[in-house]
Structure formats: C-alpha cells, structure tokens
C-alpha cells in the first residue's frame, strides 16, 4: 500500500519536549508543512532560545500535570502527538533515579491516558536505542535483546512497554520509535560531538572518557524527516521501529573527524575516570530494515558534512552551546 505524501499537513500537532534538541528540529520541519504546532516543555532540558525563529505556541509546563494536559487537549485539539519530553541526560540517572522514572515512565503513562481519552489519530513515543544495551548481534534489529545499561534507558524502556500495552489493551494508536543517536544544532546537553567541538575550540588538550564506544549517528534534520514519514505511515501502530543510519563510528574515530573540521592538526587525549560510565554501552548499530519496509529508504547527510555544518553553527552562535550560556 502506497503512503499518501504528507498527510501531516495543516494539522494540530502537539510536541512534548519541543524546546529540546530533537524537538526543536522537529518543530521546524512540521512548520514547513504548515502545521499548527503546540509545544509542551518545562524547560528543564529545553530552551526558549531554541525556538527563536519558530511560530509554534509554547506552553511552559510539565507532562505530569494532568489538568494542564486536559486543558491543552480541550483548547487546542491536537490530532497527532510527538512525545519527546524526557529527562535525557544519562549521568543524571546515577544521582536522581527517581526523577528519571517519574518523568520518563509516569510522565509517558500520563500522556498516553490523555491521548486515549482525546482519541488522537496517533501518538509517537520517542524511545531509545539505549534500551538494547551493548550489541550482541550486528546490526541491531527490533528483536535484539533488551538489557538497559542505565536508569535512563530502563525508565525509557518502561515507557516503551507502556505504549505497547495501551495499543494492545485499548487499541490506542501509538508507534514506538527506537531512535539511535542524533547530532546537530541546539544540542542541549554536553554529548560527545558538541563536547568535542567545544574542547577543540578552546585548545588541543582533550579530556574524554571511553574512546572505543561506537555509536550510530544521524543528522538531526534527517531523523526528523524520518519521524514525520513514520507518523504518516500505515500499519505501524503498536510496533517498535528503529531509526538510525545503519553506520557507526567509535569515539576515537569521531574525535579525529572533528579535529579536521576544527582545523586542529595535533592534539592529546587524557582519559578521565569521571567521564567513564559505570556500565557503558560498547556498541550501537541500527538495523533499519523494518523502517525502510514501512516508509522507504532515506537519504542521509554525509557524516563529515554534518560535522562541518555543526561547527559552523557553533561559530555563528557565539562559540557557546546553550548549556554553557545557562539561559532558559
């Protein structure tokens, strides 16, 4: 069956976590399609400045606020919901596991209930490739064992399964997206690629953690194109579907690529114990066979080209990431 092109056009769409890194990129893509976008974000990880050139309505609030959610669904009548809101920074789970579960699991259940009551046409839950743990087989399909290595991944996996049960028990139209790593403008946490760009900007002596970990990276706007196409696809409700490029790089390899982009010929690396995760994921590599079957094959921005664009964006924004500026 052929998918109709851009069913998500001129719709009322709710994006939770829409002021965050991936969320703000998604909002821009949805606005190109002339959608009326409502953002719900408590600005813990998101930033108002991420939405400076967007027309979307920003509601500052928490996904666990049931009365606020009821008001949004009553007033704005969203037909589709992209649920990205989460505590996203893995190290935070070491210190505050209860927050991870409260937001990432119970917050998701709250959103699911309101979407079910409102009879939305579809909700997309942003799960994560981290639920798989380290790769046992490569590439990693949706049937790969799930062995979360962090409180973040465990809490997201609980939300992942809650979505499946809302579909199974209540026929709630929800698709579960297991997103592999993204990179691009407005990264709101010191993840590896923005952190490398920042460190190279300040000198050639790097402070890093695990250099051998491998990750599958997608340019964020390519990922958002994929998310919209998946939301429009037929026969995906109740399904877990991976999204990733299908190619990975080690932190050591990424460091070398970023050094060239930043014009640093020689550098030294100090591996610091404080930057090592107690239970790290060694390798992630996406098997996107199911995604391609449902949506069609994607064209991806060249990794090195993406790094160049990101370094240029960093330069044009004052050589500071949002987490360094401290602005909400």
Closest-CA residue to 127 (of 189, 173, 168, 84): 84
pLDDT higher for 163 or 45? 163
Whether 87 has a pLDDT exceeding 50, the answer reads: yes
Whether 214 has a pLDDT exceeding 50, the answer reads: yes
Q: Comparing 53-57, 95-99, 112-116, 225-229, which segment has the lowest mean pLDDT?
A: 95-99
Percent residues over pLDDT 90 in the chain: 89
Q: And the tokens for 49?
A: 């400045």
Whether 307 is in a domain gets the answer no
Whether 197 is in a domain gets the answer no
Determine the pLDDT at residue 1.
37
Question: Distance between CA atoms of 291 and 236, rounded to whole angstroms?
Answer: 10
* Band (231; pLDDT cuts 50, 70, 90): very high
Whether 31 is in a domain gets the answer yes
Please give the tally of structural domains in the chain: 1
Closest-CA residue to 218 (of 179, 254, 256): 179
* Band (4; pLDDT cuts 50, 70, 90): low
Determine the pLDDT at residue 240.
98
* Band (2; pLDDT cuts 50, 70, 90): very low
Instruction: Please give the C-alpha separations between residue 194 and each of 167, 232, 320, in angstroms, as whole numbers.
Output: 37, 31, 10
CATH number of residue 54's parent domain: 3.40.50.720
Q: Which residues contact 277 (CB under 8 A, 6 or more apart)?
A: 90, 91, 149, 150, 209, 210
Question: Distance between CA atoms of 227 and 253, rounded to whole angstroms?
Answer: 28
Which pLDDT tens digit goes with each residue over 94-136? Answer: 889 999 999 999 999 999 999 999 999 999 999 999 999 999 9
Whether 128 is in a domain gets the answer yes
Which pLDDT tens digit goes with each residue over 161-202? Answer: 999 999 999 999 999 999 999 999 999 889 999 999 999 999
Could you tell me the residue range of the domain that residue 103 belongs to? 12-183+218-246+281-300
Determine the pLDDT at residue 135.
94
Read off the pLDDT of each residue in 29-50 and give the average, rounded to a whole number: 96
Whether 148 is in a domain gets the answer yes
Q: Comparing 2-16, 62-76, 242-256, which segment has the lowest mean pLDDT?
A: 2-16
Question: Distance between CA atoms of 12 and 213, rounded to whole angstroms?
Answer: 40
Q: Which residues contact 98 (CB under 8 A, 6 or more apart)?
A: none
Whether 67 is in a domain gets the answer yes
Answer for the pair 207, 272: CB distance below 8 angstroms, yes or no. Answer: yes
Mean pLDDT of the chain: 95
Whether 230 has a pLDDT exceeding 50, the answer reads: yes
Determine the pLDDT at residue 5.
63
Percent residues over pLDDT 70 in the chain: 98
pTM: 0.95
Read off the pLDDT of each residue in 221-244 and give the average, rounded to a whole number: 98
Instruction: Kindly write down the DSSP assignment for every residue of 32-101, as one continuous string.
Output: HTT-EEEEEE-SSS--GGGGTT--PEEEE--TT-HHHHHHHHHHH--SEEEE--S---TTHHHH-HHHHH
Whether 97 is in a domain gets the answer yes
Closest-CA residue to 22 (of 193, 188, 214): 188
Residue carrying structure tokens 């994929």: 226
- Cis preceding-peptide flag for 139 (omega within 30 of 0): yes
Determine the pLDDT at residue 218.
98
Read off the pLDDT of each residue in 54-58 and give the average, rounded to a whole number: 98
């Amino acid at each position: 069956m052929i998918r109709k092109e851009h069913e998500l056009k001129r719709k009322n769409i709710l994006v939770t976590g829409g002021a965050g890194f991936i969320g703000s990129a998604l909002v821009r893509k949805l606005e190109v399609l002339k959608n009326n976008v409502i953002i719900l974000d408590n600005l813990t990880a998101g930033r108002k400045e991420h939405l400076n050139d967007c027309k979307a309505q920003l509601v500052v609030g928490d996904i666990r606020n049931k009365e606020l959610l009821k008001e949004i669904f009553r007033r704005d009548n969203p037909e589709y919901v992209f649920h990205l809101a989460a505590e996203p920074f893995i190290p935070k789970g070491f210190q505050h596991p209860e927050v991870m579960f409260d937001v990432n699991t119970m917050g998701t259940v709250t959103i699911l209930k309101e979407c079910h009551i409102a009879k939305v046409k579809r909700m997309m839950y942003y799960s994560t490739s981290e639920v798989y743990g380290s790769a046992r087989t490569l590439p990693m399909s949706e049937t790969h064992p799930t062995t979360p290595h962090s409180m973040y991944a465990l809490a997201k996996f609980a939300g992942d399964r809650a979505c499946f049960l809302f579909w199974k028990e209540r026929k709630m139209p929800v698709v579960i997206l297991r997103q592999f790593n993204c990179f691009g403008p407005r990264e709101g946490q010191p993840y590896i690629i923005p952190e490398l760009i920042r460190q190279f900007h300040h000198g050639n002596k790097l402070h890093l953690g695990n250099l051998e970990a491998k990750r599958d990276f997608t340019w964020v706007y390519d990922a958002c194109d994929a998310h919209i196409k998946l939301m429009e696809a037929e026969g995906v409700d109740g399904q877990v579907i991976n999204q990733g490029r299908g190619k990975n790089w080690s932190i050591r390899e990424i460091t070398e690529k970023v050094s060239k982009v930043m014009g640093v010929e020689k550098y030294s690396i100090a591996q610091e114990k404080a930057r090592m995760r107690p239970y790290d994921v060694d390798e992630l590599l996406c098997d996107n066979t199911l995604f391609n079957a449902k949506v069609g094959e994607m064209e991806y921005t060249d990794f090195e080209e993406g790094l160049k664009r990101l370094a240029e964006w960093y330069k044009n924004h004052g050589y500071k990431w949002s987490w360094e500026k401290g602005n909400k």
